[in-house]
Amino acid sequence: MTVNSNPNNHQNSNESAYKRIRIFDTTLRDGEQSPGASLEPEQKIILARQLAKLGVDVIEPGFAISSPGDFAAVQQVSRELQTVEIAGFARAMKADIDAAVRATADAARRRLHLFISSSDIHLDFQLRKSREQVLQIAREMVAYGKQFVDQIEFSPMDASRSGREFVIEMVEAVIAEGATIINLPDTLGYAMPEEYGEMFRIVRQQARGGDKVSYSAHCHNDLGLAVANSLAAIRAGATQIEVTINGVGERAGNCSLEELVMAIETRKSAIGAETGIVTGEIYETSRMVSRAMNFPIAYNKPIVGRNAFQHESGIHQDGLLKNRSTYEIMDPDAMGIPRSMIVLGKHSGRHALKHRLSEYGVKLDETQLEDLYNRFKVKADELKLVPDDVLIRLASETTATEHDPYTLTDLQVLAGTQRSRIASVTIRERDSEQERTYTGTGTGPLEAVIHCIQQAIPVAAEFEDLELHSLSTGEDARGEAVVSIVHNNRRYRGTAIHNDIILAAAQAYVAACNQQLLSVKPADNGASA
C-alpha cells in the first residue's frame, strides 16, 4: 500500500498514473450536526490538528454564523492550520457570507462554500420560492462572495432529487458569476450509484463552462450507499469527495473517510485514483472523534470497527496464522490499528489457543493443550468470548502452575454523592505468594480502583482507554470491559466479563498489565500483543 507520509507533497499528474482525489473533511461541520455530537470549540481545534496530521486537503471547521463558539473555532483553525485549505460554510445569504469571510480571514488558503436548495420539494415547502427566485439568489450571492475570495464552491442542495435541467441551469448561472468548484450533493442519500454518476457526467458535458470547473461529491448514507455513490462520482469525473470521520453526520451520516480512502487504496488500480491521506493516522483519528462526540463505533464498522480485523472461526484463524492475506485484504498495522486479529470463542481452534498463550510465554504439550481445549469449549459456551484473563486462568488449572504475575483477589468501593469515591483492592503477587491491600480515592469509583492497582503493579504504563459493553439485559446483565494500556509505544489490551462492571474493568486492567509483563512478542509499530 502506498502511503503519502507528507500530505503537502502530492504527486502531480505527470508523476502518477492515478487521478488525485482531494479529501474535503466536514466532520467538524456536517458531522457535528449529527444529534448529540456537539463539540466544544477547544475540541474542534484539537480534532482539526489531527485532521491536518491525517493529511486531508480541505477542512470545513464549522458554520461560522451559527454561534459565537463556532465562529471562534473556525477563526482559530484558520489561523493555526496554514498547510490546509479552510472552507467557510455559508447559506446563500450576505450575513452568512460575511461571517464566513471574517472567520477565515487569516487562513493561508481558503474558499467559500455556498449552498441553496435546488429540488422542487425544498423550494415549495422549505424556501417557498420559485426556481427563478432561487437562481437569482444564487447568482447574486456567488457574485457577492467573489469579492472576498477566489475559490468558491457552490452546492445545489438536494441535487440528486432535483430536475437535471434545473441543476444544469443553476450550475451555469453560478459558474458565470465565478464559482470554481461545483458540488452535487446527494443530501438525502437517495441516489443509486449509476444515477449519481450519470448526474455528474451530464452536468459536466451539458452545462456551459462545466469543463472549466472542478467537481465535488457530498453523499449521505441513508441507504448505505454513500461510499458507493462517491466512487461513482470519481469515475464520472469528480476530483474531490466530502467525507466525515467514522461517517458521522445527520441521520445515517455522511460518506466515511476511512471507508472511501481504504477502498481507493485497496483497489487503486481498478478505481484509477489515489489520495494524500496518511493511512497510519486513520485509527487514531477515528478514536479521537468517537471520544470527543461520545459516539461509539459499531462492532462491524468497516476499517475501524472492533470486529473489522478480528476472527473467531478456527478455519480463518488457522489461515491467518499461516499468512495474513488468506482472510484479510488490508493490513491493519498500516492504519495504526492494534493487531488483535484473533478473538477466542466457541468457534476457535487449538492453533488459536496455542498462539494466544505463546504471547504470554505459556507453553503446553499436546496432552495439556487438549485438556485446555476441552475446558475452553465449556467456558466459551458460557461467555461467548473468552477474555485473556480467563484463558490464562484455564491454562493455570491445566498445568497446575500459576502464570499471571498478579491476581486481583478482592475489591471494595465506597461511593456517595457528597464525597470522593474510596476503593480498597487486594492483589496477590505470584512470585512472593503474598497478598497486599491498597487504598485509593478518585472522583469516580473506577478512578479510585485504578489508583489502587497502580500502587500494586509496577508497570510504567499509561491507562489509555476503557470500553464497556453490555452482553445481556435485565437486572443480572453482564458487562464486558476492555482496557488498553500503552508501554514503550506498544498497546496491550485486557478483557474481563462480570456482572459488576467496576470489577470487570479492574480485572481487565490487571489482565492488560499482566499481558505487558508476560509478553514475549517483539515490539512492532505499537501493535497489540
Q: Are residues 226 and 125 in the same domain?
A: yes
How far apart CA 219 and CA 227 sit, in angstroms, is 8
- The answer to whether the predicted template modeling score (pTM) of the entire model surpasses 0.85 is no
Grid-cell match 500483543, residue found: 529
- In this model, does residue 475 exceed pLDDT 90? no
| pLDDT confidence bin for 526, thresholds 50/70/90 | very low
Does residue 105 lie in a domain region?
yes
How far apart CA 143 and CA 179 sit, in angstroms, is 8
Provide mean pLDDT across the span 309-313: 65
CATH number, position 428: 3.30.160.270
Last residue of some domain: 354, 381, 399?
399
Q: Which residues of 388-413 are buried (b: 16+ CB within 10 A; e: fewer)?
A: bbbbbbbbbebbeebbbbbbbeebeb
Q: Which residues of 334-362 are buried (b: 16+ CB within 10 A; e: fewer)?
A: bbbbbbbbbbbbbebbbbbbbebbebbeb
First vs last Cα of the chain: how many Å apart? 23
Q: Are residues 384 and 453 in the same domain?
A: no
β-pairing verdict for 240-243 and 273-274: unpaired
Does residue 272 lie in a domain region?
yes
pLDDT of residue 427: 96
| SS3 call for 228 | helix
CATH number, position 205: 3.20.20.70
What's the number of CA atoms in the CB half-sphere (13 Å) around residue 152? 27
How far apart CA 255 and CA 221 sit, in angstroms, is 6
pLDDT of residue 313: 67
Does residue 528 lie in a domain region?
no
Contact between 472 and 511 under an 8 Å Cβ cutoff? The reply is no
pLDDT tens digit sequence for 31-71 = 999 988 989 999 999 999 999 999 999 999 999 999 999 99
Last residue of some domain: 382, 399, 416?
399
pLDDT of residue 124: 95
Last residue of some domain: 234, 260, 292?
292
pLDDT of residue 357: 85
Does residue 65 lie in a domain region?
yes
Range of the domain at 50: 19-292
- In this model, does residue 479 exceed pLDDT 80? yes
pLDDT of residue 9: 42
Q: Which of 165-174, 292-301, 472-481 reaches the highest mean pLDDT?
A: 165-174
pLDDT of residue 383: 75
How far apart CA 112 and CA 214 sit, in angstroms, is 14
Q: Which of 145-154, 306-315, 487-496 reaches the highest mean pLDDT?
A: 145-154
Does residue 301 lie in a domain region?
no
Q: Are residues 377 and 510 in the same domain?
A: no
- In this model, does residue 484 exceed pLDDT 60? yes
Furthest C-alpha separation in the chain: 85
Nearest to 197 by CA among 144, 235, 153: 235
Q: Are residues 211 and 230 in the same domain?
A: yes
Structural domain total, the chain: 3
Q: Are residues 433 and 510 in the same domain?
A: yes
Q: Say what percent of the chain tops pLDDT 90.
A: 65
Q: Are residues 276 and 348 in the same domain?
A: no
Q: Are residues 393 and 420 in the same domain?
A: no
pLDDT of residue 506: 94
| SS3 call for 102 | helix
Poorest-pLDDT segment among 194-198, 248-252, 295-299, 358-362: 358-362
Q: Are residues 342 and 418 in the same domain?
A: no
- In this model, does residue 343 exceed pLDDT 80? no
Does residue 414 lie in a domain region?
yes
Q: Are residues 179 and 254 in the same domain?
A: yes
Is the pLDDT higher at 215 or at 373? 215
Q: Which residues partner with 423 through β-bridges?
A: 413, 440
Does residue 434 lie in a domain region?
yes
pLDDT of residue 5: 41
- In this model, does residue 420 exceed pLDDT 70? yes
Question: What does pLDDT average to over the chain?
Answer: 89
Q: Are residues 410 and 385 in the same domain?
A: no
Q: Are residues 41 and 133 in the same domain?
A: yes
Does residue 523 lie in a domain region?
no
Q: Are residues 112 and 182 in the same domain?
A: yes
